[in-house]
Chain A
Amino acid sequence: MKKLIVILLLAVLAWDLGVIFLGLNFGNEHFTEGVKDQYLEKTVTELNVANTVTSIVVNFRGFDTLGEVTVLFLAATALGGILYKKRHHVGERSVLFPSSSLVMSGSKLLFPAIILLGVYVFVHGHLSPGGGFQGGTIIATGFLLMLLAYDNYSVSHNLLSIIESLAGIFFVVIGLLGFMNHGTFLENFLPTGTLNNLFSGGVIPIVYILIGFKVAAELTGVIYTVLHEKD
């Protein structure tokens, strides 16, 4: 009986989805025209941004990016809620064998270079490939290297939360400023400058820098919690 009901419900769901997707004309000229050309056109003429992907992700589809950042935030929070326990001292995690001095000094040498690469990637998000998510992940990888090489290396959880929250708040504030000035959320309200300059694209570099900070803080927090989890 139960199985029958499940099969019936699934059939209804499949029927509904089928009706929706059969109605869309994927691959037809009607579907591929229109929006695509608008993006390619307006990226250069209106926003003065060299990287079309960035302009779509942060400006034309900025609201989706806010959703993505929220998903990442919720995932990190849930993981922290499950795994994080308050401890008085930090150097408690299980170490199979201590890292050699070669690994320690090598990672100390590499750490600033990795951070610099991450910062470069998200500051130049509107000029070259990459952006906030990629740069943030690279920075988190740098912190991961330090956490693995040094047993007693620790990052402040409070500082990470503050950076994360501030970046999220400023993202929404910039969106609201665009709403107040031009009538849509995350609309560009700053001067766009000239193409291929570092200070161009209006609000896009600012938003990407904020996303970079947010993603770096979140992923570092995730790695830190996973690494210190011990039952």
Chain B
Amino acid sequence: MYLILFIVLLIIMLGAAVYAVVQKDLLVAVIATGVISLILAILFYLLQAPDVALTEAAIGVALTTIIFVITIRNTVRYEDEHDKNKKSNS
């Protein structure tokens, strides 16, 4: 039972990681990386490392995600948007 929960969580984590790389919408990709951190925090908790789980939850899920979101708001949202702008300008 414990092992099945573990494997399911790891598969979700892998899926989120692949999704974050493939996704062209950077906002969705950042949320996917947040999901990775969230599941990592749960895994740390299950592995009886609550200190590390708290750190991961606070920094990985909240702070990093928000800083990336702020960065995206100040730059561009889609991956190839910048290149398109360059081409249309030149």
Contact = CB atoms under 8 A, between A and B. Distances in A.
B73 interface: yes
Contacts of A131: 51
Interface residues of A, number: 24
A219 interface: yes
Interface centre among B58, B66, B67, B73 (most CB of A within 10 A): B58
Contacts of B62: 137, 141, 144
B54 A130 contact: yes
A226 B70 contact: yes
B74 interface: yes
Interface in A217-231: 219, 222-223, 226-227, 229-230
B58 A134 contact: yes
A137 B51 contact: no
Interface in A17-55: 51, 53-54
Contact of B70 (A53, A121, A227): A227
A133 B53 CA distance: 12
A105 B63 CA distance: 22
A96 B63 CA distance: 20
A135 to B, nearest CB: 9
A194 to B, nearest CB: 23
A141 B57 CA distance: 11
Contact of B55 (A51, A54, A133, A223): A133
A95 to B, nearest CB: 10
Contacts of A226: 67, 70-71
A223 B66 contact: yes
Interface residues of B, number: 15
Contacts of B70: 226-227
Given A223-B66, A223-B67, A229-B74, A137 B50 contact: no
B59 interface: yes
Contacts of B51: 51, 53-54, 129-131, 134
Nearest to B59: A137
A230 B75 CA distance: 10
A31 B60 CA distance: 32
Given A219-B63, A223-B66, A223-B67, A138 B58 contact: yes
Nearest to A53: B51
A195 to B, nearest CB: 19
A129 B50 contact: yes
A121 B50 CA distance: 12
A140 interface: yes
A140 B71 CA distance: 18
A15 to B, nearest CB: 34
9 contacts: A54-B51, A96-B73, A129-B50, A130-B50, A133-B55, A134-B51, A134-B55, A137-B62, A141-B63
